[in-house]
Amino acid sequence: MMKKIAALLLCTMLCLSAVSFAAAENVPNLAGTYYSYGYDVGTMFMNYYFHFYDEIPGLGKVFHAGMCMDQICFDGTYEVLAEECAYNVAMDRAASEAGTLTEGTAPYTVVFYDFAGNELDRCAMDAEHIYNDMVNITGVGGGNCAMNLDTDPENSKFAAQYASEPAVSFLSLVNPEDDTATLELKVNGKYDDLVVLFVEGTYAMNEDQTVITLTPDSEDDSGATVTKNEDGTYTYVSTDGDEVTLAEVKPVEVAYALKGEIPVPGMEGTNADFICNLLSDNTVQLYADFMGNKMDVDKGTYEIDMTTYSFIIHFETAGDLTTEGYAADMVLNYKVDDVQPFGAIEQTLKFVTE
């Protein structure tokens, strides 16, 4: 009996330490916590989670939302307000399948922003739940659900998904004279430095994000200071005295696009946009977009056959496919036997002229 009481006390202490309350602000401290929701679909564990990182100096309180097994991701900053917020969610998977939603009011509001400071969405929360009835931060099969505080992330059913969480880049820099010399700052507070040698560590920034301090994980490695210049370049100076000018890696643009529709799994009669983007670096991304939520389906590379003016696409999953028709009449007949969670796909995408 004493062992059971001790275990109960330990569990309670873990819950309280995972979400502590700052006396001055009277709001939960979410740093280092996970809130999760999931269910089994056959042999697949469909999961959705929020990961709240430790605060990064200069960047702030950062979150990662991994929806649909990280097929749909959101990253940015957040704040918790001591403001009541109403919610209307299914408290568990059984309630979700039955369409039974619970209405209530929680004592706190969590507000999510992109890295430019634009509000993405907001919802109710308390120490045990994030009541995700949001429209903009959601995923197919995970809408209007209560996401539970995970008090033992390392041993929970979600542990494998947490471990494979994508390390999303916040800033990518490269030496224009050597494209292998790069610096990658990630939203989890880590960095990969290949400017001189390969170094990993953590970073901090000043308030206007113009000075970045790199601190290596190993005392044997060199740290560095990276300063943004007025012309938009960056000056990298290591503690060993190496000085290099870096340029920001600009995002790749969509060169050509094809679009169709695909049924949303579990939502009979509802379709998502089915989009194939041919990018300016000759890579291809194929995804479903449902109300602004993107789920990757396939990817690859492409080339143009100048004799037929068709695109030859080398998909990783579907294999080699070639567009048919010309200009505005161009189509791509995409076919694959099985892609989770859609299953078999056979859809036609048409060339987007605008």
pLDDT single digits (tens) 254-266: 888 999 999 887 7
Report the pLDDT averaged over residues 155-173.
Answer: 92
266 compared with 47, residue with greater pLDDT:
47
Burial 97-123 (b: 16+ CB within 10 A, else e): eeeeeeeeebebbbbbbeeeeeebbbb
Inform me whether the pLDDT recorded for 12 exceeds 90: no
| pLDDT band, residue 16 (cuts 50/70/90) | very low
Tens digit of pLDDT for each residue in 60-115? 999 999 988 887 888 999 999 999 999 999 999 999 989 999 999 999 999 999 88
- Report the chain's mean pLDDT, rounded to a whole number: 87
Return the pLDDT at 142.
84
Chain Cα centroid distance, residue 339: 20
Question: What is the rounded average pLDDT of the residues 196-202?
Answer: 94
Q: Can you say whether residue 309 is alpha, beta or left, with left for phi > 0 and alpha for psi between -120 and 50 degrees? A: left
Q: How far apart are CA 352 and CA 315, in angstroms?
A: 20
Give pLDDT, residue 320: 95
Residue 25 banded pLDDT, cuts 50, 70, 90: low
Reading across the β-sheet that carries 310-315, which strands appear in turn? 319-322, 310-315, 293-305, 283-290, 271-279, 254-263, 343-351, 331-339
Q: Where are the domains of the chain?
A: 17-163, 169-248, 254-351
pLDDT, mean of residues 270-291: 89
Yes or no: say if 236 and 247 are a contact pair by the CB < 8 Å rule.
Answer: no
Single-letter amino acid, residue 94:
A
Whole-prediction pTM value? 0.66
| pLDDT interval class at 23 (50, 70, 90) | very low
Closest CA to 227 of 243, 240, 250: 243
Q: Do the domains 169-248 and 254-351 sit in the same CATH topology, yes or no?
A: yes
Q: Give 127-149 pLDDT, tens digit per residue.
A: 899 999 998 898 878 889 999 99
| 169-248 topology per CATH | Lipocalin (2.40.128)
What is the average per-residue pLDDT within 201-229? Answer: 95
3-state secondary structure 106-169: ECEEEEEECCCCCEEEEEEECCCEEEECCCCCCCCCCCCEEEEECCCHHHCCCHHHHHCCCCCE
Question: What residues contact residue 120 under an 8 Å CB cut-off, 6+ apart?
Answer: 74, 76, 112, 113, 114, 136, 137
**Correct CATH for 254-351 of 3.30.1050, 2.40.128, 3.40.50, 2.60.40:** 2.40.128
3-state DSSP percent of the chain in helix, strand and coil, to 5: 10, 55, 35
Going by pLDDT thresholds of 50, 70 and 90, the confidence category of residue 19 is very low
Q: Which residue has the tokens 């194939």?
A: 276
% pLDDT > 70, the chain: 92
